Amino acid sequence: MKTVNLRNLGLINAAAIYRNLTPAQLVEEALLRGEGVLSKTGALVVETGKYTGRSPDDKFIVDVPKVHKQIAWGKVNRPISLEKYQIIRAKLTAYLQNRELFVFDGFAGADPACTKKFRIVNELACQNLFIHQLLIRPTEEELKKFGKPDFTIICAPGFQTLGKEDGVNSEAAILVNYPQKEVLICGTAYAGEIKKSVFSVMNFLMPQEGVLPMHCSANMNPENGETAIFFGLSGTGKTTLSADPNRRLIGDDEHGWSERGVFNFEGGCYAKCINLKEENEPEIFHAIKFGSLVENVVIDEESRELDFDDDSLTENTRVGYPVDFISNAQIPGVGGIPKVVIFLTADAFGVLPPIARLDKNAAMYHFVTGFTSKLAGTERGVKEPQPTFSTLFGEPFMPLDPLVYAQMLGEKLDKYGTKVYLVNTGWSGGPYGVGSRMKLSYTRAMVTAALNGVLDVVDYRHNSIFNLDVPQSCPGVPKSILNPRDTWSDKKAYDASAKKLAAMFQENFAKKYPNMPKEIVKAGPQA
């Protein structure tokens, strides 16, 4: 088996170090260690324990002079001193001595001009399988020439910090040290923390190279190469809508937009499994097979059937798999300049239109605002949809001033004439608990109409409360649902809820972005 020297990381007494094992070997090692079981289809199924989603309150950035002025410090980007970091790091490396370790050396960034080398060191074989499938896998020749990584991530779920005594908030900690080019992940077995750490690093590095990093999915027309990107937080439909059988999937979560076009940061997908059905999402359903890692889906001990409707462990059930498990994947994950940008939101108030056209100023407003509802399970403590404003549709992963990213988007929209739409995949006919979730078939039809240009020639009605232009017809979509007020039986209740949400938009924008140009402010809700 391949191995590698980790003495430079302080890991000098490892019992064994396994480098870039194959998925089959990693599955065998995970089963031997009792980390999981196999499903009927051959997928490795694991439970992540207490942490079944990201833990944003446990993420910290090492605050040192070299990066202090670059980071947008606050509730999202929390500082930790170098001294506290070094103390935790020393304890972590001591914990890992005399243990078998799994190393994956791979790449982030499918555009060769922007590729970064990542070394992931794992305590668990199942997590090494996860990141092996999620990042871009090197060839044998590339592995021989891998050399020094650009960034290293050390992940040890079994090591727990002392919380406040160690300068953090709990036994779990995600610590990013940009100058040292290192991330430590402690106390949580949720594999999503690893991929999001890679994303956070890329979001720090890419703007320095003139590339806009984006929390989005992307796909392209196989006939003419026209590319579309989908922004949105977890649970809004990025993965589902980008896995369109009629288009080629570039990637489902993390991309860069350079002067050459869009490229995937990853080599895999991380899809939600709750209520997964073959007829609705066949590509994801059939990707759950040998080589994929399933998290927190309840499995029958005898039949080994997965129960995708069971949320007793969490609603944030997940599967990680390589992008080539999707039959229409674009390999390598690169596309052209986006023709269309879709902002996805899951409105729990049920008052936003299912689709609206945005001009450049409105696009800038909604990109910066990033309104959606946090869906149950995507973060610890979230039990039902909660309205939230996440800057850039990915605030937890954006270490720089949000205006850095927003200005880059505005420049690209200007330069390339890209069209932008706001799509509500949330509720219609009333708020959460009263109305119903927008049908996936309707959302797909609206997105298709935006991509093929049908919405360029239809009539629009202006929604004065949200300052949005709403199409009045769309193939495959009942006209009755296009104007959200028409779907409510109590029109006065709709007006009150709409004005309440519009006021939340205005309050959030005034608080977070007091220096935003007036033309951007005026493009938002005007209730």
Cβ–Cβ under 8 Å, residues 365 and 520: yes
Rounded to the nearest 5 degrees, what angle is found at the Cα of 340, between the Cα atoms of 338 and 345? 120
Handedness of CA 170, 171, 177, 180 (dihedral sign): positive
Cβ–Cβ under 8 Å, residues 453 and 422: no
DSSP three-state, residue 389 = strand
Residues marked active site are found at 54, 196, 215, 234, 238-239, 253, 318
Output the pLDDT for position 375.
58
Cβ-proximal residues to 456 (8 Å cutoff; 6+ apart), any chain: 419
Q: How far is CA 243 from CA 168, 363, 404, in A?
A: 38, 24, 30
DSSP 445-507: HHHHHHHTTGGGSS-EEEETTTTEEEES--TTS-GGGTSGGGG-S-HHHHHHHHHHHHHHHHH
Q: Which domains does the chain have, with CATH numbers?
A: 7-36+50-209 (3.40.449.10), 270-322 (2.170.8.10), 337-521 (3.90.228.20)
Per-residue pLDDT of the chain (527 residues; tens, 9 = 90+): 678 999 999 999 999 999 999 999 999 999 999 999 999 999 999 999 999 999 999 999 999 999 999 999 999 999 999 999 999 999 999 999 999 999 999 999 999 999 999 999 999 999 999 999 999 999 999 999 999 999 999 999 999 999 999 999 999 999 999 999 999 999 999 999 999 999 999 999 999 999 999 999 999 999 988 999 999 877 788 878 887 888 999 998 999 999 999 999 999 999 999 999 999 889 899 999 999 999 999 999 999 999 999 999 999 999 999 999 998 999 999 999 999 999 999 998 999 999 999 999 999 999 999 998 765 555 566 665 677 898 999 889 999 988 899 889 999 999 999 999 999 999 999 998 899 999 999 999 999 999 999 999 999 999 999 999 999 999 999 999 999 999 999 999 999 999 999 999 999 999 998 888 899 999 999 87
Cβ–Cβ under 8 Å, residues 174 and 61: no
- Strand-pairing partners, residue 271, are 319
Exposed/middle/buried for residue 304 (C-beta within 10 Å: 0-12, 13-18, 19+):
middle
Cβ–Cβ under 8 Å, residues 512 and 391: yes
Cβ–Cβ under 8 Å, residues 340 and 449: no
Output the pLDDT for position 210.
95
Distance CA 340, CA 406 (A): 17
DSSP three-state, residue 194 = helix
Structure tokens at 205: 């590095």
Distance CA 226, CA 448 (A): 13
Structure tokens at 46: 């694991």
Distance CA 78, CA 61 (A): 6
DSSP three-state, residue 193 = helix
Distance of CA 142 to the CA centre of its chain: 27
Structure tokens at 369: 């605002």
Distance CA 323, CA 217 (A): 12
Output the pLDDT for position 515.
82
Output the pLDDT for position 183.
98
Among candidate residues 192, 211, 191, the one with its CA nearest the CA of residue 123: 191
Neighbours of 148 (CB within 10 A): 9
Cβ–Cβ under 8 Å, residues 470 and 355: yes
Distance CA 443, CA 237 (A): 10
Output the pLDDT for position 245.
81
Distance CA 267, CA 415 (A): 29
Output the pLDDT for position 420.
97
Neighbour-count burial for 439-470, b at 16+ CB within 10 Å, e otherwise: eeebbbbbbbbbbeebbeeeeeeebebbbbbb
